[in-house]
Amino acid sequence: MQELQELKQTLKTQIIESLNLEGMTPEEIDDNAPLFGEGLGLDSIDSLELMVLLERNYGIKIEDAREGRKAMESVNAMAQYIADHRTK
């Protein structure tokens, strides 16, 4: 459980860095808030950038953009997906 908490924290920092969300702190990202559309307001290019993040940092290769979008619905969903699929 604690591992997942730590993972979420790291992940938020990585998201901020990868998407260049200048001025944003990890605390400002809600675990459950949707990353795309309403919540953080990210778009399809961001989703591709997040897939790069997953591949480079966790060795997770998502081939299908649609599956990717699902895995990245929120920080919670993403952390869980990483925990389940990570190869590094």
Partner 1 sequence: MKPIYIISSACISPQHTFEAIDFLSDASIVNARNNVLYCIEPDFKQFINPVQIRRMSRALKIGFSAAMKCINESEIKEIDAIIIGTGKGCLEDTEAFLHSIKQYHESALNPTHFIHSTYNQLNGMIALNKKINSYNVTYAHRGFSFEHTLVDASLLLAEGEANHVLAGSFDEMTLEHFTVKKVWGYWKVEPIESKDLLLSKTPGTIAGEGSAFFILGNQKTKQNQAFIKSIRTMYKPTAEEIAFQIDSILQENDLLSSDIDVLMLGNNGNSNQQHHDLLFADKFLNANFLYFKHLCGEFDTASQFGFWLSTQILEKQQIPKALYGPNNQHKEEKKEIKQVLFYNNYFELNQSLILLSV
Partner 2 sequence: MKPSIVVSGMGMYTALGKGLQANYNALSHQEHALGPLDFLKTTHAASFPFGEIKQSTQSLLQSLQLPIHKGYTRTSLLGITALQEALLHAGLHSFNQLKVGIVNATTVGGMCEVEKYYFDLLDHVGDYTEFSDTIDCADCTHRLADFFHIKHFVTTISTACSSSANAIMLGTRLVSQGHLDIAICGGTDALTRFTINGFNALKNIDKALCKPFDAERNGLNLGEGAAYVIIERADDCAKRNHIPLASISGYCNFNESFHATAPNPEGEGAYQVMKRALAKANLQPHEIQYINAHGTATLTNDESESNAMKRLFQQVPAFSSTKCYTGHTLAAAGAVEAIFSVMALKEQCVFANLNFQHAMPEAQLIPQLHFEHQSIQHVMSNSFAFGGNNASLIFSKIENT
Structure tokens at 19: 């998407």
CB of 26 to partner 1, least distance (A): 16
Q: What is the nearest approach in angstroms of partner 1 to the Cβ of residue 1? A: 30
Contact 87, 12 (CB under 8 A): no
Give the footprint of partner 1 on this chain (CB under 8 A).
Answer: 19-23, 41, 45, 48-49, 52, 55-56, 61
Residue 63 interaction partner, one of partner 1, partner 2, none, beta carbon < 5-8 Å per kind:
partner 2
Q: Are 80 and 58 in contact (CB under 8 A)?
A: no
Give the nearest distance from C-beta 70 to partner 2 in angstroms: 14
Token pair belonging to 32: 């459950």
Nearer to partner 1, 56 or 86 (CB): 56
Measured CA to CA, the distance from residue 41 to residue 37 in angstroms comes to: 5
Tokens coding 33: 């808030």
